[in-house]
Amino acid sequence: MNEDRGDVVLSVRNLKTHFPTDDGVVKAVDGVTFDLHQGEVLGVVGESGCGKSITMKSVMQLVGKPGRIVDGQILFKRNRDGTNTEEVDIAKLRTNGKKIREIRGGDIALIPQEPMASFSPLHSIGSQIVEAVMLHQDVSKQEAKRIAIEKLNEVGMPSAEQRFDAYSWQLSGGLRQRAIIALALACNPSILIADEPTTAIDVTTQAQILELLKRLQREHGSSILFITHDLGVIAQLADHVVVMYLGRVMEQGAVSDVFTHPRHPYTRALLASIPSLHSEPRIELPTVAGGIPHPLQRPNGCPFHPRCPDAIPGTCDVAMPKLLDVEQSKVACFLHHDEAEEADA
């Protein structure tokens, strides 16, 4: 894909994050590759259980035990002073080391799916934002408070100075979401990871939050990794999209191209399942056939082949196709090329 995009700020290469258990190894992320460019919104989509959130937790070294990164690179171009750029392989950093603690929250910030579970119920939202600012910036407590109120105002928090002393459980879902975005923005990160931030709120508030994220992204020039199972949200917000299934990337490319000309059968099935205003009434909506297999019973070959209407017997059930350029997208499918990955030793 030869596209005129900004500089790459995050490059994930063949990332594998596994969870060893007594019954076997769960390959939650199994060879994921993608690039995030400066100033773009990259959507990551797929059904629940496809490894989207574990991929993003790997990027921040937040994978809980017994999970661990077993292979691959997470190359982050860190630019804190505006002049010098340092390339850091996050996959090689200790999960509690000084370097990753500087990056986590300072350079790369997370907007979690459920802010109620992320804020401490014992401390005000303002005090928690102040703590984050002082952890990553050399400022006084008074200056940190000023920054916190400024960020609350920036995300559209009504009466920000009064809300500064409010607790998370005193706020509505929409206001909590704005508060967690203010916390994520407090240290001016270069990358925002939004992990399904609109799942737990109503559609009206969801539209407001999406508009807020678009405005903040334009004003700050941040790069956003947006995780969701909602393709409608991706169509509104993202520039490029990565389609994941069972820990693998099935297809990736510009949103306009992937949505207009989906090449992987899984992508086509996801798009076909979106309700339309033109759908006939009282007609059963289309769904993706079958279900995601148990993580310890992964099929051989392409992981989607048991559910794929276009599977090629003797090929798709034997080998895993490589993720290769196909016109304007990258696709891992034998319908479009014949190259297979080598089996792990």
Q: Residue 219 — pLDDT band, cuts 50, 70, 90?
A: confident
Nearest to 171 by CA among 128, 132, 125: 125
Residue 80 lies in a domain: yes
Q: Which domain holds residue 103?
A: 1-107+222-345
Grouping H, G, I as helix, E, B as strand and the rest as coil, residue 150 is helix
Residue 19 lies in a domain: yes
For the segment 103-118, the average pLDDT, to the nearest whole number, is 84
The answer to whether 70 touches 42, Cβ cutoff 8 Å, is no
> How far is residue 106 from each of residues 16, 98, 130, 144, 188, measured CA to CA in Å?
25, 12, 13, 14, 7
Per-residue pLDDT tens over the stretch 43-78: 999 988 899 999 999 999 999 889 999 999 999 988
How many Cβ atoms from other residues are within 10 Å of residue 106's Cβ?
Answer: 19
For the segment 96-101, the average pLDDT, to the nearest whole number, is 89
Domain count, the chain: 1
Mean of the per-residue pLDDT values of the chain: 87
Of the candidate ranges 226-235, 243-252, 255-264, the one whose mean pLDDT is the lowest: 226-235
pLDDT at residue 336 tops 80: yes
Residue 150 lies in a domain: no
Residue 266 lies in a domain: yes
Residue 322 lies in a domain: yes
Residue 233 sits in a domain whose CATH number is 3.40.50.300
Q: Residue 83 — pLDDT band, cuts 50, 70, 90?
A: low
Q: Would you say the C-alpha torsion 115, 118, 119, 125 has a positive or negative sign?
A: negative
Q: Residue 1 — pLDDT band, cuts 50, 70, 90?
A: very low
Residue 195 lies in a domain: no
- Give the CA count within 13 Å in the CB-facing half-sphere of 217: 23
For the segment 171-193, the average pLDDT, to the nearest whole number, is 87
Q: Residue 240 — pLDDT band, cuts 50, 70, 90?
A: very high
pLDDT at residue 114 tops 90: no
Residue 94 lies in a domain: yes
Residue 129 lies in a domain: no
